């Protein structure tokens, strides 16, 4: 499958909200529905297969999403505020999925993000990432919290098994894409604990900056997919 990775991309959607805030439960809770609606608008069978079975016989769903993020939004305790300058990102390392997302977004005038409507004012394709250094080392930093679990327990950076389970997640993704698994994963920095409710269940994680040794094609694929679990719900998106 690695030959299919040429042209891997992600897309930034610039948006204007109709509300001064987004409900906290919608920040991540609405992302999955938005993704499936976009794919379904172009390819209903692809959306159904991805939803019901994952990709090519494996439960993984190779889709990433992040946002909405609003520049200059006024800080208010306990409230996710908005501004007139917002962005949402979508991506996939699978050309069929990425193509469906981009084609749907190109004709989309509005995203329903839970109870908030986001008027689309423009989209921009974001290209590749600089190749790793000669020794293969690369640093990646996430825009959204990374979700990792061990025996159904949410883990945070610094917890036992966190690096092990995140490394397992990355190896699983590399295997799906037909690429070598990354090596030498290290957490260099971590943000504060964040907790969200998604479909009535808690998602707990933290933003991270990591170092790893990886094939440049896999690094680029991760930028269109994300690290950790629940990337289709907006977690683990890479800056």
- The span from the CA of 51 to the CA of 68, in Å, is 22
- Do the domains 137-233 and 2-126 match in fold? yes
- The span from the CA of 86 to the CA of 213, in Å, is 33
For residue 105, the model assigns a pLDDT of 95
For residue 1, the model assigns a pLDDT of 36
pLDDT per residue as tens digits for the range 192-211? 999 998 888 889 999 999 99
Domain ranges of the chain: 2-126, 137-233
Topology classification of domain 137-233? Alpha-Beta Plaits (3.30.70)
Question: Tokens standing for 221?
Answer: 């694929």
For residue 61, the model assigns a pLDDT of 96
DSSP 130: P
Report domain 2-126's class.
alpha beta
Given a cut of 80, is residue 173 above it in pLDDT? yes
Average pLDDT over residues 9-15: 94
Total residue length of the chain? 239
């Amino acid at each position: 499958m690695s030959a299919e990775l040429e042209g891997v991309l992600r897309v930034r959607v610039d948006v204007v909200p109709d509300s001064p805030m987004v409900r906290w439960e919608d920040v991540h809770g609405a992302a999955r529905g938005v993704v499936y609606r976009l794919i379904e608008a172009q390819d209903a069978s692809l959306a159904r297969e991805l939803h019901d079975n994952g990709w090519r016989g494996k439960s993984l769903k190779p889709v990433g999403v992040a946002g909405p993020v609003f520049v200059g939004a006024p800080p208010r305790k306990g409230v996710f505020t908005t501004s007139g300058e917002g962005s949402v990102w979508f991506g996939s390392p699978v050309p069929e999925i990425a193509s469906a997302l981009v084609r749907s977004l190109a004709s989309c005038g509005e995203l329903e993000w839970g109870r908030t409507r986001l008027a689309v004012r423009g989209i921009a394709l974001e290209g590749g990432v600089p190749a790793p250094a000669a020794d293969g080392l690369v640093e990646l930093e996430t825009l959204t919290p990374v979700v990792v679990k061990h025996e159904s327990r949410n883990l945070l950076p610094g917890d036992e098994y966190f690096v092990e389970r995140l490394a397992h997640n990355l190896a699983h993704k590399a295997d799906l894409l037909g690429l070598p698994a990354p090596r030498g994963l290290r957490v260099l920095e971590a943000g504060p604990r964040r907790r969200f409710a998604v479909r009535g269940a808690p998602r707990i994680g933290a933003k991270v900056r990591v170092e790893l040794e990886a094939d440049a094609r896999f690094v680029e694929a991760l930028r269109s997919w994300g690290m950790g679990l629940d990337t289709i719900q907006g977690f683990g998106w890479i800056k």
